[in-house]
Chains A and B, each alone.
Chain A
Amino acid sequence: MRNRLILLFFPFMAAYLIFLVLPIVRILTFNSFSFLIGDASSGILASIYYTYLIALAVAVISVLLALPYSFVMARRNTIPYRIADSLVEIPIMIPSTVVGIMILITFAPQMPVGSAIARVFPGYSFQDSLFAVIITLLFVSSAYSIRIVGVSYRQEILRYEEEAMTLGVSDARSFLLLSVPMLIKPMARGIVLSWARAISAVGSLLIVAYYIFPSFTQLAGVFIYSQFLGGGLPDAAASSSILIITGIIAMALLRAMGGRNAAVY
């Protein structure tokens, strides 16, 4: 019976994988290798470098926020907390450009929150700043870390902490000595997903930070979009290929690091 089901389901699985792989193969083979080498000097490598670095910083911030968030939410199950918890997923369903607009009308210096920040930090500007990029990417990508860390903590790890507490170990020690090490693997998974989501953000950045001043750096998604508008498909496809190749390598490295760090004892 099981073998028959495998035979039945296999074509669907294979079709889905082909559906995923085909566009990747297509873009990697769209241009010649020499064209890719030539495109590398277009500025895409620097853009990718900054993109990965900023996305990594945002992913790390997301995971660091996920720790206290998960700690509180795992211990509170009342309706207000559950409603608050459901807010986490809202950024995922909001179109990226809308996120950009939301962030802009919240944090721009002439807006209420922005003007409050400006009072504390004179000379504060938001649009096209690194701060704007980080805030925007944090908004769109933090939900992944929060959810992965939160679910792992609540469903798999908390009970070990509770068990340690019945052995006389305080809540703080139980959390730090047991839960945090056990959370490293979910945190690494959270970093990978938040990082990947932050890299893929384009629409919100087009509104909030087309360039990042004062370096005039463009993040990769925006860079490729502007290439597409200015130079056409071949240039944009070549930069996309480089982004995908480096992305696969970076993802593999992050996953490998996550796997090693999971064995903490």
Chain B
Amino acid sequence: MQLSIRGLRYRRGNFTLSIDELDLPSGKHFIMGQNGSGKTTLLKNVCGILRPDSGRILLDGVPSEGRKSWERHVAYIPQDLLLFPGMSVEKNLLFPIRHAGGSMDIFHDMVESMGLKDILQRRADQISGGQAQRVAVARAIISAPSLLLMDEPLSMQDQSARIWILSRLDDLMKKYSFSIIYVTHDQSDLDFGYDSVTFMNAGRITESVSSLDQLHQETSASMLHYGNMVRINGSHYLAGDESISFSDSGGYGYRWWKSLDYNVLLASIDGEEYFIKTSRMPDGKYLVLNPELMKPLEHESILQEGQ
């Protein structure tokens, strides 16, 4: 399902969600942002739990204004999962089948692939946080959505379970033809591939990129663990392999370690420490960064004033 947003405004109290334009074609899209940046509010507007004050949300080109949340085929997994209390896991999973357009075939598939067979008869409020997250993901997919909104639903999974579920999501997306919009704080979630990453700050989209190499906002880069963002003489830059070299005679002090198929440098620059991910093998005592080959990052506040 393709999501398009035009001139969306949603105001509650002191917070305003304001999205001028956003286009997310079918695929897997991530949204990153600090707490309170409006990620959850955006998802709730898309699935119909909240109604925008103005603007349009188009699902596959069709305006969603007149469509109730149960008519949108947009499933939402909130952070607190909202498994129906008092019901068994099985009844939770069957709920969208018995009372909506969910699929029994997907039910069997999800029970198997999410490893839920042994907990089907247990009450949903008596299973572990990690199990509950798997049930919530399974229940949402069983409802046969065209778009699945996931609001950090895997935060309680250990790394291996997280990797397993994320890799399964890709298969399920293709198998059952749905798109995903996934809110996360964890950059490692991006390792499984993405079609776009949208960054939000203070109720606005700061930028939306199809590759992290395209980042040009300091606020976006600061959300990434190994964002390769450095600050030199008061200006922010994105360091890439081409701008990195090593020397024994001068430069910035650093430590480094190997992580998977890349090296992580912890460099000390102008009194601050920065993580830099690189494929270059450190071969000198000091790190040298060539500002001319680094990508300068803009400050969002300056951009806003300019606008």
Q: Residues of A at under 8 Å CB distance from B?
A: 159-160, 162-171, 173-174, 177-178, 181-182, 263-265
CA distance A173 to B72 in the complex (A): 16
- Cβ-based interface call for B296 (8 A): no
Residues of the A chain whose Cβ atoms lie less than 8 Å from the Cβ of B95? 164, 167, 169
Which of A162, A167, A170, A178 has the largest number of chain B CB atoms within 10 A? Answer: A167
Q: Which residue of A lies closest to B124 (CB)?
A: A265
Min distance, Cβ B171 to any Cβ of chain A, angstroms: 21
CB distance from B144 to the nearest CB of A (A): 8
Contact present for A169 and B84 (CB under 8 Å): no
A166 B86 Cβ-Cβ under 8 A: no
**Do the beta carbons of A169 and B68 come within 8 Å of each other?**
no
**15 A–B contact pairs at CB < 8 A?**
A159-B78, A163-B78, A164-B96, A165-B69, A166-B69, A166-B70, A166-B74, A167-B75, A167-B102, A167-B139, A167-B140, A168-B102, A169-B96, A169-B99, A169-B100
- Given known A163-B76, A173-B99, contact A168–B70 (CB-CB < 8 A): yes
A167 proximity list for chain B (CB < 8 A): 70, 75, 95-96, 100, 102, 139-140, 143
B253, CB-defined interface residue at 8 Å = no
Known: A162-B49, A163-B76, A265-B87. A170 touches B70 (CB 8 A): yes
The reply to whether A168 and B73 form a contact with Cβ atoms under 8 Å apart is: yes
Name the CB-closest residue of A to B100.
A168
Kindly list chain B residues whose C-beta atoms are within 8 Å of the C-beta of A169.
Answer: 70, 95-96, 99-100
Contact of B91 among A170, A263, A265 (CB under 8 A): A265
The 4 residue pairs across chains A and B that have the minimum distance between CB atoms: A168-B100, A167-B143, A167-B96, A166-B76
Task: Give every chain B residue within 8 A of A159 (Cβ-Cβ).
Answer: 78, 82
CA distance A263 to B123 in the complex (A): 12
What residues on B are CB-neighbors of A163 within 8 Å? 76, 78, 82
What residue of chain B has the Cβ atom nearest to residue A163's Cβ?
Answer: B82
Complex CA gap A157/B99 in Å reads 18
Residues from 135 to 165 in B contacting A, C-beta threshold 8 Å: 139-140, 143-145, 149
- Rounded to whole angstroms, the CA-CA distance of A120 and B70 in the bound complex is 43
Chain B residues near A178: list those with CB within 8 A.
84
Known: A160-B82, A264-B86, A265-B91. A166 touches B100 (CB 8 A): no
Determine if A166 and B48 form an interchain contact, defined as CB atoms under 8 angstroms apart. yes
Known A159-B82, A162-B49, A163-B78; judge A177-B99 contact (CB<8 A). yes
B106 at the interface (CB under 8 A from A): no
Q: How far is the CB of B298 from chain A (nearest CB, A)?
A: 36
Residues of chain A within 8 A (CB-CB) of B145 are 168
Q: Which of B70, B140, B149 contacts A165 (CB 8 A)?
A: B70
- Cα of A170 to Cα of B145 in the assembled complex, Å: 15
Pick the contact of A171: B68, B74, B88 (CB < 8 A): B68
**CA separation between A108 and B48, bound complex, in Å?**
48
Within 8 Å by CB of A162, from B69, B73, B99, B102, lies: B69
> Contacts of A263 on B, CB cut-off 8 Å?
86
Nearest A-chain residue to B101, judged by Cβ: A168
Assuming the A-B contacts A160-B84, A171-B70, A265-B91, are A165 and B143 also in contact, with contact meaning beta carbons closer than 8 angstroms in the complex? no
